Amino acid sequence: MALITLAIGAIIYSYIWYAGANKEWGEGLKGLPMSIAHVALSRLNDRPMHTKNFRPQILAFIKCIYNENQHRWMIEHEKVLDLLSQLKAGKGLVILATVIQGLV
């Protein structure tokens, strides 16, 4: 029975392989981390937040200047990033934002 089952499975696999699947179903291994993250995020509200689990989230507006030589935007004072890193002690999230005037 096991050999018959393996033969039927091999026939179905070879048919799908040669006929070609018209739909893109994605890969299970690539979807697994997303599924784990979704389950973990949905369980966050199930338990009360403990003070030791606090992760600060900082939104920092930083002035950027355009470097003509390198053709890119650069942070004017990079020491601010060091200060923000020390404030969150290696944990949490820092979001950097800037306002660029004159661009549409």
pLDDT in tens, 25-60: 667 777 888 888 888 888 877 777 777 776 778 888
Q: Do the beta carbons of residue 66 and residue 73 sit within 8 Å?
A: yes
Q: How far apart are CA 92 and CA 4, in angstroms?
A: 55
Q: pTM for this one?
A: 0.42
pLDDT in tens, 59-69: 888 888 887 88
Those residues whose C-beta lies under 8 Å from the C-beta of residue 63, and which sit 6 or more positions away, are 75, 76, 77, 98
Placement of tokens 């890119």 in the chain: 72
